[in-house]
Every structure is written in structure tokens, then in C-alpha cells.
Structure 1
Amino acid sequence: MSEVVTGDAVVVEVRVAQTPSRALAIIIDMVVQITVLFGAYAIVGAFAPISDPAMLQATMIVLVVLALVGYPVLFESLSRGRSLGKLALGLRVVSDDGSPERFRQALFRGLAGVVEFWLLSGAPALIASLVSQRGKRLGDVFAGTIVISDRAPRDRGQWIMMPPSLAHWAATLELSQLPSEVAQAARQYLSRWHDLSPQVQHEMGIRIATQVASFVSPAAPAGVPPHAYLSAVLAERRRREQERFARQAARGAYPQTTPPPPYAHPQPGPQPYTQPQQSPQPYAQPQPGSQPYTQPQSYPQPGPQPYSGGNGARRPPAAPAPEPPQATPGGFAPPQ
């Protein structure tokens, strides 16, 4: 990973392309160029007996220039930094500030590529890419560009887990107003959380958590980190979706000749299936007279009872806890 400062003075992390992938992309491009040259030579050679020798020689020079210089320049300019080899390996050429590659930069790279790859067999490009921290070859240094990997890393396949200390609070959330796009943005942030620097983790987490908090109630307890808040919201949302799908499957999975299972509603009606009180849930509401969840020490609240309310309602404490130093919007904890 490498940091890129955009024109708006925003630091963005990009994944710099590795030398083996870049070398393979260059080999693919060179194979395409050689194939085009052989095809052009065959076509021009067919007209050699009836063509002027000077015209034939000029045509061959133009074809060589188009194949060696015009191919990468046109492809990278029209496809926003991609040639056929880079497209096959998920690479892209961008400016040093993260903006799309310009025609001037593609031209510098194409001209330098003739010297680096075709005249000197790629030795200067290999040495320069090994010395540079961002893997730049000479054409990138002259053009002010960088080659990045445009493909996102594979998902680790891990579920978004519910923080145990927030399970009691998450069971009281109102999630019906949360848009799917916002939830998807939070899910992508959590999947990339370990690949981000601590500063980017916190800044992006605060922005996404504040956006999610505008659609979700009640508010998070004071001092909750943004990633923990988003994990609790998404885990509770997934749990409720799984319960809804299970109820839908239970209504239509059993024919009339098969007796209903013990947990299914015996008679059809306006509400064919209701949530049984005796069935334990991962984050079930506490019964009166019991206290299944205790207030975690990491998020202290004033008063003897952290959450109180009548008729099963959950309300935040009457007196909010004092904000820690350098508090961030939404009550989320600052980075350590």
C-alpha cells in the first residue's frame, strides 16, 4: 500500500502494482505488438511487387512506430490507463496525485518504453522499479505516473461478528430506515479495515459511522469505536434478516399432509408464525427480573442502571457520560 495526495489535499491509499505482475503485463503487450507487426509485414509484403520501394519503406516505418508507440499510447489514453496486458492483470496507470492518466503522460511512457524494452531489453525498467519505493520505471518517473492494482483484495470470508459488549444495546436498534447502499459501504469498510492505516481507519470510520447513525436509533453508547459500532449494526441487521427468511421458509416449507413442527404455528391466520417466547435468540430481550447483560467496563455509564425504561423500552441514560478528550462527532472514541 502507498499513500497518494490528491489535488484536494486528501490522502488516499492505493495498492501499488508488484513487479512480477507488471512484467507479465508487459510481456502480454509485447506479444500483441509483435503479432500486429508480423501481420502488417505480411500484408505489406503482398503488395511489394506492385509498390514503389520508397513508399513501401515509409509504410514499414509508420507501421513500426504505430505498433511500438501508438499501441500503448492509444490504449492507455482511451481506456484510462489500461493496455491489454494491464487489463488482463487488473492494473491501471494513474498520475502521482491519483487522477487519470493524461495523453501527454501516456506519450512519455510510450516513447520511454521503446528505449527501455525494445532497445535495452527492459534492463533500465527493471533496475528503476527495484530501486523505486513505488515500483516506478523510467517512463513513470518522466511522466509522473504510477501503476496501481485496480482489483480489490479477495474477501477473507469472515463474518462480521457482534461485539459482545454491544449485543444488549444492538437488540433495541431501529434499522428499518437504514438504506442498503449505506450498509454496503459500511460492510466494505469493515472488510478492508485491516488494510488501512490507523489514521485512515478512524477518519473513514467516523464518516461512515456518522452516516449510519443518522438512520439508526438509539444512539451508540459514548466511547464506542466506529468499527465496533458498525459491526454491531451490521451483525444485528444480518440476524434479523436471517430470522425473517427463516419465518418465510417455515410458512411454505411444509405441505398440508405433513404435521407442522413443534415451533411452527398450528393454524393459518393473519399471523401464521409468531416468535416463540421460549426460543432463545442470539441477542434476545432480557426477561423481567433478570439481568443477562452487564455493562462492560470499557464503556462506563453513570448511575447504578445503565439502561432503564418502562414496558420493555430501552432508553439512553438520563445523564450522558463526560466526553473523553478529543471527542469525535457521534460519540465515537478517538484513535489510540
Structure 2
Amino acid sequence: MQDGILIGEGVILDARPASFATRGLGALIDVAVTVVLLIAVSLAVTGTAARLTEQWTSSLSIAVLVVLLVGLPTAVETLTRGRSLGKLACGLRVVRDDGGPVTFRHALIRALVGFFEIWLSFGSVAVITSLANSRGKRLGDLLAGTYAVRVRGGRGWEQPLVMVPGLAAWAAAADIRRLPDGLALQVRQVLDRAPRLAPASRARLTDELAARVEGYVAPGPPPGTSAESFLHAVLHERRDRELVRGRADRERATAQAAALHRLPYAVPDPRD
């Protein structure tokens, strides 16, 4: 469970860190693209250098290196939320440790450290650090609090969550506390595999999980509710509550943004 991505309410998404081979291939593509850009820009600078002094030529060369090796990766990862050309080709994305999208700060730290661990050390520092970390983090990831996950080719849930009609009213009024990290994922995985399990194993697993989940739900389900129906109802209700909370947060943020851009009180607003 430690490899999952933790999001709100302790729900862990089943997104595993990308393999070393996939990360390496994506890095090679990015390096190749950067080298091609360096060669193209160097040729252009060479044609211009003949008309510049030696001092200006050196300054221009340093500026080109900074832009291509630090500025460009930072801008690409910020604008694409962690997907460079190599990562896009390999189906990867860089995310924060909590599963959220990377920001300018994360991308800048990765690019700055990457200049030393990838370019100056010819990738040796990045390879050693990545092999020694359980999530395959290079040094830049350790400092930025990020890592690469595979976002293409993953299997989605086969079995949808179902709310038994007789449990809808109970679930809507129940107090469902935050579940421990990983428990929601365990329940979702078992429910997804339930039709393929042997009846005895299916009953045993759902009974064990229902006993663990029931301690976080008050009041308990109506008498006679099966363990599997109870688990479906709890996850279904938690998902709906998260969706409602998310919509409310977005609407509140939109309203606050609109208020911030309005003129002060008593000053006529042309938009009105």
C-alpha cells in the first residue's frame, strides 16, 4: 500500500511508480530532444558570434544553456502538469508525493538539480539514486517531493459501486469517518474482484473488511445487511460526498476569484 498515491479522505489511488526501464527511456528521449535543440541553437549562435565580442559570445552561450537545460524543462513540466515529451511518449507523469499535479516550484527544483545530476554527471547520479529508491526517485525528485507514475495502460475498475436501494436513506444519514490510509483501496479492490472469487473466500474477505469499516460508521447498517452490500454503500456514499464537496470548493473558489477582481465598494463597475 505504500506505493499508492494518497488523496483527500485517506483514499489511495492505485497508481504505481513507473519502472526504471520506462523512466530511463523517457529520460533518453528528453535528453535526445534537448541535444538536438542545443546543436541547432549552437549553429545559430555560431553564425551570430562572428559579429560579437568574446565577452558577449560567452554570455550568449551561458544564456542558451540556462534556457535549454533549466528554463525549458521547467516551463514544459509546469504547463503540462508533469509531462515532458519523453514522458508523454512513455505514458508517464511526474506527480507530487501526495498525488497532486506538480507546480512551478517542483518543476524548477527538478530542473536545477537535473542540470547537475543528469548533465554534469552524465546521468550517473540520477541512475544510482533512482535504483536506490523504492519509488525510483532521482535526487531532484527527493528534493522536490515528486516521483514518476505510469498513467497509460492501467486497468480501471471492472465492477461499479452499487447502492442497494434499501440502504440509500441509511447511508445518507450515517456519519462516515475518515478511513485509515489504504483501507478504502483494499475494500475497492476486493469488491472489484469479488465476482471472480470463490464463494468462501468472497464471504471471508468481505466479512473481515466490513468488520474493520464498521468501526468508522455510525450508526451501523440495518440488521440483515450483507457485508458486501454494506461495503458498496459506504464507498458509494463517500464518493458522492467527495464529489459534492469538490463542486462546492470549486464554486467557492470561483466566487472568491470574481470578488477579488471587482472594484471596491461604492465604486461603479463598468461590467454592471
| C-alpha deviation, 1:126, in angstroms | 1.4
CA contact (8 A) 1:226 1:333 kept: no
In the other structure, the counterpart of 2:141 is 140
In the other structure, the counterpart of 1:29 is 30
CA contact (8 A) 1:226 1:332 kept: no
| Matched letter for residue 99 of structure 1 | G
Are 2:185 and 1:200 aligned? yes
Q: How do 1:81-160 and structure 2 match up within 5 A?
A: 81-153=82-154
In the other structure, the counterpart of 1:333 is 227
TM-score scaled by length of structure 1: 0.49
Q: What is the rounded CA distance, in whole Å, between the counterparts of 1:333 and 1:142 in structure 2?
A: 44
| Matched letter for residue 152 of structure 1 | G
Q: How do 1:147-296 and structure 2 match up within 5 A?
A: 147-153=148-154, 200-202=185-187, 204=188, 226-227=191-192
CA deviation map 1:69-119 (0-9, x unaligned): 112111100000011100110111111111110111111110111111111
Cα separation, partners in 2 of 1:332 and 1:73, compared to 1, 3 Å = farther
Q: What is the rounded CA distance, in whole Å, between the counterparts of 2:24 and 2:103 in structure 1?
A: 22
In the other structure, the counterpart of 1:78 is 79
Q: What is the rounded CA distance, in whole Å, between the counterparts of 1:329 and 1:31 in structure 2?
A: 59
CA contact (8 A) 1:3 1:11 kept: no
Q: What is the rounded CA distance, in whole Å, between the counterparts of 1:153 and 1:40 in structure 2?
A: 39
- Please state whether the residue corresponding to 1:50 is helix, strand or coil: coil
Q: What is the rounded CA distance, in whole Å, between the counterparts of 1:27 and 1:329 in structure 2?
A: 54
In the other structure, the counterpart of 2:17 is 16
Q: What is the rounded CA distance, in whole Å, between the counterparts of 1:228 and 1:45 in structure 2?
A: 62
Cα separation, partners in 2 of 1:329 and 1:78, compared to 1, 3 Å = farther
In the other structure, the counterpart of 2:46 is 45
Cα separation, partners in 2 of 1:77 and 1:129, compared to 1, 3 Å = same
Cα separation, partners in 2 of 1:80 and 1:54, compared to 1, 3 Å = same
CA deviation map 1:33-87 (0-9, x unaligned): 1111111111111122222332222111111111111121111000000111001
| C-alpha deviation, 1:146, in angstroms | 1.2
CA deviation map 1:160-214 (0-9, x unaligned): 8xxxxxxxxxxxxxxxxxxxxxxxxxxxxxxxxxxxx775242x37xxxxxxxxx
| C-alpha deviation, 1:226, in angstroms | 4.5
Q: What is the rounded CA distance, in whole Å, between the counterparts of 1:5 and 1:15 in structure 2?
A: 12
| C-alpha deviation, 1:9, in angstroms | 4.2
CA contact (8 A) 1:33 1:71 kept: no
RMSD of equivalent CA atoms: 3.5
Gaps of 5+ in 1: 161-196, 206-224, 233-295, 300-323
More helix by share: 2
TM-score scaled by length of structure 2: 0.60
Q: What is the rounded CA distance, in whole Å, between the counterparts of 2:192 and 2:38 in structure 1?
A: 54
CA contact (8 A) 1:4 1:98 kept: yes
Higher relative contact order (CA 8 A, sep 6+): 2
CA deviation map 1:287-317 (0-9, x unaligned): xxxxxxxxx9x99xxxxxxxxxxxxxxxxxx
Cα separation, partners in 2 of 1:148 and 1:226, compared to 1, 3 Å = closer
Cα separation, partners in 2 of 1:198 and 1:98, compared to 1, 3 Å = closer
Residues matched between the structures, number = 189
Divergent runs of 4+, >6 A: none
Q: What is the rounded CA distance, in whole Å, between the counterparts of 2:120 and 2:193 in structure 1?
A: 56
| Matched letter for residue 147 of structure 1 | A
The structure with the largest alpha-carbon Rg is 1
